[in-house]
Chains A and B, each alone.
Chain A
Amino acid sequence: MSEVSKVRTFPPSKESWGGDAAFDGTHRKGELRGIIKINQDNCVGCDTCTAFCPTEAIKGTLGVAHAISTNQCVACGQCLVNCPFGAIEQMSFVDIVMEKLADPKAFVVAHPSPAVRVSIAEEFGGKPGDLTVNRLYNAFEKAGFHNYDVNFAADQTILEEGTEFIKKVRYWVLGERGEDLEHVAHHPLPHFTSCCPAWVKNAETFHPELIPHISGAKSPIQMGGPLAKTWAAEFVWKKDPRDIYMVSVTPCTAKIFEASRPEFNSAYEYLKENNKIPQDTPSFQDIDAVLTARDAAEIFRRKGINPLTLPDEREMETMNVYTGAATIFGASGGVMEAALRTAYFILSGTELSNPDITLVRGYEQDIVEATIPVPLKALNGKVINVKVAVVNGASRNIKEIVKRLTDDKNQYHFVEVMNCPGGCVNGGGQPVRTMGTSWLHPLLPLPLRA
């Protein structure tokens, strides 16, 4: 079992949300910035991090302390995970969440993503699998959280994403027209996934021409937030939504950024529109705080909880129901695979016979492509070949994909982009292994791979 290094953190400051100006560089008012920061005193200027940055946001020459350009950074945390000297620090909401947990009025909900279970086990010196779902829920409960699993929401994301893709196929491939297809008229193929906020921010800043291609589906976390504050608040918890404090627990530092984006206050908008909260309620976000897997482990440590030692039993709760499609979300190729299965089912009327499209759920290669013949129910089984690609570890591959797309617009129908190599399991919020680098990973013989 590899060792885990300590990552230094800092709390957000007033300036972290920006001033009163609508825009400050590439950030809008309210959006968190400076989530990942290089400590100038600890950086030796070894220049390792620059090679892992997807956006060339890290400035500095060899031997000189480096710094991150806030305007270019997409907060993916890959630099942090790969800095050999532990010089890169993460903005953390641990203190703020601890305060909320101590506040009797607050109804604090933990909203963990699938990829954190294995990694939190690692933070406590356990093997993957040591921390069962039940133990994790018990740990959150013991720490004062209520539980809400993202997989429930991941199913929603996949459904949205799949349905959207089908509409695009109907409009752009089959030439269908109709009222329900009008909104995809401005959203041509290839369809790009939208659940990786680092990739979305990357596209917004550096490849705006791709924005119309990106799915309108929200990430599972951002679907889960509003569901919790509207539906669950009213029907499950019977709580005033204003008292609900949603804390997502993710493998990802870019989610810290995502949660702060101004459009992610749907619950607030909905509740106000339907007069469920007073009209003068100040806006609140769907997700109030994001903890990385490391942060969650830190909260457990501060509360003296070792989740590995907790009982493995508990009753199933309403909010923890999910299908198999959603559990593969965190792996590279996972979103696409899940969405494809849904799309396949709707387009063809049958289940995809081999549900594990292993071709797609890749790790070794950076860009994986596959062609999946889909017999169309609507056209008496006429087959279309759906061409898909998974872009894995955006740092080196976004440019390549953009180039291929400009060369041939019909190259792909569906492209999944995950900023981190191998997907969210190697996200910037995961425990930092003392050893190794994700670059060498694909070259290692199998038994040595972590």
Chain B
Amino acid sequence: MANERVLKFPMSEKMFHNINMVTWMILAVTGMMIYFKTVDATTASLLMDFHIGIAIVFTLNFIGFAVINADRFFLMLRNLLIWDADTFAWFKNFGGYPRRLLGIPFGPEEVAPQGRFNAGQKFTYLFFIFMIFGLIVTGWLLYFMAPVLGKTTMVYFFNFHVWGSIIATAMAVGAHLPLALINIEDFKAMFRFGAGDVPLEDAMHHAPKWVENDLVKVSTLEQPLKAHH
């Protein structure tokens, strides 16, 4: 049991996530440098070319994941979209994180059992996916369609693009990143070269309902368990 591992992130998901992360950060930094007029016009112009170039990679990465790995993508959406009583119960004590990390005795001590994603992750990741999609759509519309969008639409799209990206980036850096570091096994699985697996013990602690309902054993000892979807 101690050596059993479960596959959490297949290669396709790792590739999507990591390309998305790197391109996102480049887009966020270049975008903000331009928007807040931190550099002179020539540099800003170059940065915008760069922003658009990286945006192509960013867009293809998302489309590639959603289309080529449609099954994994829809599995992920399913996992994110199914909200049962336990999911809602998570918000009673925010998964016990305030108590454990900050010493704030918030809500009951017992954490409601969670699936592959806990409620906080569901919320955050749905928001991220929505923002990725929204930034792609508004970004390309701003690029190609500005004069025909109409002024009001243009202003909405622009503000969505700028402020949406800033809020989402703040969430990624301020919440997603530190929490990923705390769940160090997930972190290692995501960034290690090779298999994206985590110890079964760890999975049972964080995601008991996932282990119970969704996982099948593919072989004994030292082989990762595979999700059966």
Choose one: B45, B149, B150, B155; the contact of A63 (CB below 8 Å). Answer: B45
Query: Shortest beta-carbon distance, A432 to chain B, in Å?
Result: 9
Contact (A84, B151) CB under 8 Å given A44-B35, A46-B142, A62-B143: yes
Whether B147 lies near A52 (C-beta < 8 A) is yes
Contact B35 A440 (CB under 8 A): no
Contact: A436 with B151, CB < 8 Å? Answer: yes
- Which of B35, B45, B151 gathers most chain A CB within 10 Å? B151
For the complex, give the distance between the alpha carbons of A65 and B155 in Å.
16
Contact A46 B158 (CB under 8 A): yes
Asked whether B132 is an interface residue with its Cβ less than 8 Å from the other chain, the reply is: no
Q: A65–B41 Cα gap in the complex (Å)?
A: 8
- Chain B contacts for A82, CB-based, 8 A: 147, 151
* CA A440 to CA B47, docked complex, whole Å: 31
The reply to whether A436 and B150 form a contact with Cβ atoms under 8 Å apart is: yes
Interface of A is mostly: loop
For chain A, residues 13 to 58, give those with C-beta under 8 angstroms from any C-beta of chain B.
Answer: 44-48, 51-52
**Chain B residues near A174 (CB-CB < 8 A):** none
Q: Which residues of A contact B158 (CB under 8 A)?
A: 44, 46, 84-85
How many Å lie between the Cα of A51 and that of B144 in the bound state? Answer: 12
Given A44-B158, A46-B158, decide whether A61 and B45 contact each other with a Cβ distance below 8 A.
Answer: yes
Contact assessment for B44 and A51 in the assembled complex, using a CB-CB cutoff below 8 Å? no
Q: Is the CB of A64 within 8 A of B147?
A: no
> Which has the most chain B C-beta neighbours within 10 Å: A61, A62, A65, A434?
A62
| Contact across chains for B151 and A435 when beta carbons are under 8 A apart | yes
The distance in angstroms between the C-alpha atoms of A47 and B45, with both chains bound, is: 12
The residue from B34, B143, B150 contacting A64, defined by CB atoms under 8 A apart: B34
A63/B146 in contact, CB under 8 A: no
- Chain B positions near chain A (C-beta within 8 angstroms): 34-35, 37, 41, 44-45, 47-48, 51-52, 142-143, 146-152, 154-155, 158
List the 6 closest pairs (A to B, CB-CB), nearest first.
Answer: A51-B147, A63-B48, A84-B151, A84-B154, A61-B45, A63-B34
Can you list 5 residue pairs at the A/B interface with Cβ under 8 Å?
A: A45-B48, A48-B147, A63-B47, A434-B151, A436-B151
On A, residues with C-beta under 8 Å from B are 44-48, 51-52, 60-65, 82-85, 433-437, 439-440
